[in-house]
Structure 1
């Protein structure tokens, strides 16, 4: 197996077998993208961006895009019938295979952050699609822990409906479900259905959390995990993805028909005060969800593989 393999996949609509959680087909010309990125040798971005918060993912995606698209010819496969572009070619991705011995040794943790606003049903469908993508391209099918996060400010009612769906057993091969960035009021609603095994918070440590919150989590055996990545519910802002793809727009234009290529006409600038991207400039892509996967050897206590998957579409 490769450790920290750097790879990227951009896909314009993935095809999956029909299931009750499948999303409907997109309108003609709606370009969907899947991006797989490893964790080796991040490459700092070449456009201006706000100083805070800092994000781990843009430099990793930048490196992955260069690895795939700088080669001659570019490592890519386009399916015109499905309007599907994969970068690099699927066969270049490292896909794990398992036997009884290796299954007993490895622990797979997956985090799925839904970014694009939708409904409880569409969120459950996106989780299913994300896990199918992970299984198809990385061979990671039997998962020990899957943590999920919904877009910012989703109400408890949406969380409850979504949580009932994904913990019902309809999504197979997930041992434990957890959550991302939830505070006590919504957690209190979820534990009446099924207590999350863990809740990861966008903080550098969990020791400074309010005592009432930590006591509540402990009483329901919810592990609190800290994440210092700073990304929260939006790990790869659409403006960052737009600007990353803008650097490669000429290459992308040669891989897919003009009708299927996001315009990417200019860089999204930073606002005058430097605190954010300019709100008047709209990105030509929108991020749907981001997956983080980690494959850990229990016996050796080392990470054998880690990476990210980004699903997006033209805006």
Structure 2
């Protein structure tokens, strides 16, 4: 069959992690930052693409890894058992029909963290709601970026519901972060003296956010807050939150944000002004060492992960995913601190979504994973 490599249209890739057990990546990479997602994604790609029957779905220029039938799906309809290979047939039918299964769903708390890490295109798309708040202060470019971000948010929620069964009305905590906003606190005296927790420490200069990015973030949160308050008001009362926001942004969004998640490496602390403000305004601070950061999966890492499977992906998609740049790894600079610059990448990551389903009564994680969305160029 003739390959269609001549096509320049972008194609969508969605990868769902299927294991939390990392598999060390094969390509050379900088020692810092120590990213969490690439090794987990590496395991997922091997699980899905190795063997005689690779698990993918390729349809309408959209590639999904693994095939959606292999994903654990929640809120399952009890009458759908038509696909013998689907997950629901791997469970006991009585377990699905029993009321205890419904109680397990009601007992759960669903937290979604959405990292917006790509560069929005110049084409505007539909937003979550047709009822926009006032955005007269934005210029044309900023409006386009805001609309594209909103489109990504909408798409991520659609993907989450379609392939994982998590409806947006059932989300308890929905946190959004932006590449370029990555507040982690300040070095302590101990870290200055002994060097503990030095990896990923925040440089004060990196906490300065451009006026343009700040205006975009404020606009996005205003519209998302309107959406959850007005269109989901009869459901879960979703708590809207942020990822790694600075105190200045929290002050400007204090009426919308209920949670702010932070990466806090060892020997780091948050200034009292920060913690006192959060307490006074009833903003929960979720501090932890997750290591995701505002750019949890740089496009170069995804390129190098997919490069190992480039021939197989080309064959499985009848040449649709054929890009000569994917045939080669992107190597490190001579100093080993960063990847080579100005090298053509075959993929561009748009967003990364993490989901965590926890039992409220037992405090046990019932399902956890990542969804990666990217363009194959």
Shorter chain as denominator, the TM-score bin is: 0.7 to 0.9
> C-alpha offsets along residues 41-96 of structure 1, whole Å, 9 cap, x if unaligned?
210001100001101100100000000100212122322xx112222221111101
Secondary structure of the residue that 1:167 maps to in structure 2? helix
Q: Does 1:160 align with 2:218?
A: yes
Match in the other structure for 2:51: 71
Match in the other structure for 2:337: 275
Match in the other structure for 1:253: 314
Q: Does 1:303 align with 2:283?
A: no
Higher helix share: 2
Q: Distance in 2 between matches of 1:156 and 1:144?
A: 26
Are the equivalent residues in 1 in contact too, given 2:16–2:66 (CA < 8 A)? no
Q: Does 1:138 align with 2:164?
A: yes
Instruction: Measure how far apart 1:35 and its partner are.
Output: 0.8
Are the equivalent residues in 1 in contact too, given 2:19–2:43 (CA < 8 A)? no
Match in the other structure for 1:110: 112
Q: Distance in 1 between matches of 2:351 and 2:213?
A: 19
Secondary structure of the residue that 2:303 maps to in structure 1? helix
Match in the other structure for 1:240: 301
Query: Are the structure 2 counterparts of residues 205 and 100 from structure 1 closer, same or farther at C-alpha, using a change threshold of 3 Å?
Result: farther
Q: Which moved more, 1:27-36 or 1:128-137?
A: 27-36
Q: Distance in 2 between matches of 1:206 and 1:169?
A: 39
Q: Distance in 1 between matches of 2:8 and 2:15?
A: 21
Match in the other structure for 1:149: 177
Are the equivalent residues in 1 in contact too, given 2:241–2:257 (CA < 8 A)? yes
Are the equivalent residues in 1 in contact too, given 2:68–2:163 (CA < 8 A)? yes
Instruction: Measure how far apart 1:248 and its partner are.
Output: 0.3
Q: Quick one: which of 13, 32, 35 aligns to 2:12?
A: 32
Q: CA RMSD in A?
A: 2.0
Q: Distance in 2 between matches of 1:208 and 1:73?
A: 50
Are the equivalent residues in 2 in contact too, given 1:29–1:259 (CA < 8 A)? no
Q: Which runs of 5+ in 1 are unaligned?
A: 1-26
Q: Does 1:124 align with 2:150?
A: yes
Find the structure with the greater CA-based Rg: 2
Q: Distance in 2 between matches of 1:200 and 1:126?
A: 21
Match in the other structure for 1:199: 260
Q: Which moved more, 1:250-259 or 1:240-249?
A: 250-259
Q: Does 1:96 align with 2:98?
A: no
Match in the other structure for 1:223: 284
Are the equivalent residues in 2 in contact too, given 1:206–1:225 (CA < 8 A)? no
Instruction: Measure how far apart 1:235 and its partner are.
Output: 0.4
Q: Quick one: which of 219, 234, 245 aligns to 1:182?
A: 245
> C-alpha offsets along residues 256-309 of structure 1, whole Å, 9 cap, x if unaligned?
133443430210101111111111323211100001100001111100110000
Q: Which runs of 5+ in 2 are unaligned?
A: 1-6, 77-100, 121-144, 181-208
Instruction: Measure how far apart 1:146 and its partner are.
Output: 0.6
Are the equivalent residues in 1 in contact too, given 2:19–2:44 (CA < 8 A)? no
Instruction: Measure how far apart 1:231 and its partner are.
Output: 3.0
Are the equivalent residues in 1 in contact too, given 2:225–2:256 (CA < 8 A)? no
Instruction: Measure how far apart 1:100 and its partner are.
Output: 4.8
Normalising by structure 1, what TM-score? 0.85
Q: Quick one: which of 163, 169, 174 aligns to 2:227?
A: 169
Instruction: Measure how far apart 1:151 and its partner are.
Output: 2.4
Q: Does 1:57 align with 2:118?
A: no
Q: Which moved more, 1:279-288 or 1:197-206?
A: 197-206
How many residues are aligned here? 285
> C-alpha offsets along residues 224-270 of structure 1, whole Å, 9 cap, x if unaligned?
11232333111011111000000001110111133443430210101
